[in-house]
């Protein structure tokens, strides 16, 4: 029971840090995010949910790219990450499926993204778009 309380406290702390980080982020007048990168086409720039957005835009996602943000959701088992969602500085959420065999920063198991979910520490994701439009994370590391 005590371990569950500690885990819940850590999750609440991460959510609070995420809210603080989001309140300090914003888009510039030219549409650039706080880090100077352009938001992904089809991503929502007005989302404030701490879960993945499901947008219905017809704009195709870029074939590849790099984004930085905070992990706001992780799906899968404790050792097998099926997908994870990154909140970008402009407030939009982007979901990724990790490429099979991917390592966090090239050395740690990909389930290290759960630590980033709890801590609110930012990550950098290099991705490609696969045939069905899914964004496949090919590199994930500390931002």
Query: Which of the four CATH numbers 2.40.50.140, 2.130.10.10, 3.40.80.10, 3.50.50.60 does domain 2-142 have?
Result: 2.40.50.140
Q: Which segments of 24-137 does DSSP mark as H helices, in order?
A: 113-119
pLDDT confidence bin for 58, thresholds 50/70/90: very low
pLDDT greater at residue 41 or residue 77: 77
Residue 123 in this model has a pLDDT that exceeds 60: yes
Residue 24 in this model has a pLDDT that exceeds 60: no
Query: Which residues make beta-bridge pairs with 47?
Result: none
Contact between 136 and 99 under an 8 Å Cβ cutoff? The reply is: yes
Residue 14 in this model has a pLDDT that exceeds 50: no
Query: Domain segments of the chain: what residues?
Result: 2-142
Per-residue pLDDT of 76-118, as tens digits, reads: 998 899 999 999 999 999 999 999 999 999 999 999 999 999 9
pLDDT confidence bin for 61, thresholds 50/70/90: low
Handedness of CA 57, 59, 62, 63 (dihedral sign): positive
CA dihedral 101, 94, 73, 54 (to 10 degrees): -120
Distances (CA, A) of 60 to 7, 8, 23, 30, 91: 38, 37, 29, 21, 19
């Amino acid at each position: 029971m005590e371990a569950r309380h500690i885990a819940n406290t850590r999750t609440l702390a991460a959510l609070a840090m995420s809210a603080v980080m989001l309140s300090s982020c914003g888009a510039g007048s030219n549409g650039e995010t706080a880090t100077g990168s352009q938001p992904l086409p089809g991503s929502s720039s007005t989302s404030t949910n701490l879960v993945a957005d499901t947008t219905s835009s017809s704009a195709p996602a870029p074939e590849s790219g790099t984004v930085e943000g905070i992990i706001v959701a992780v799906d899968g088992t404790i050792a097998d990450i099926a997908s994870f969602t990154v909140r970008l500085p402009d407030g939009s959420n982007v979901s990724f499926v990790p490429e099979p065999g991917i390592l966090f920063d090239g050395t740690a198991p990909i389930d290290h993204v759960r630590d980033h979910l709890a801590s609110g520490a930012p990550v950098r994701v290099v991705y490609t778009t696969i045939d069905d439009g899914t964004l496949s994370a090919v590199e994930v590391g500390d931002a």
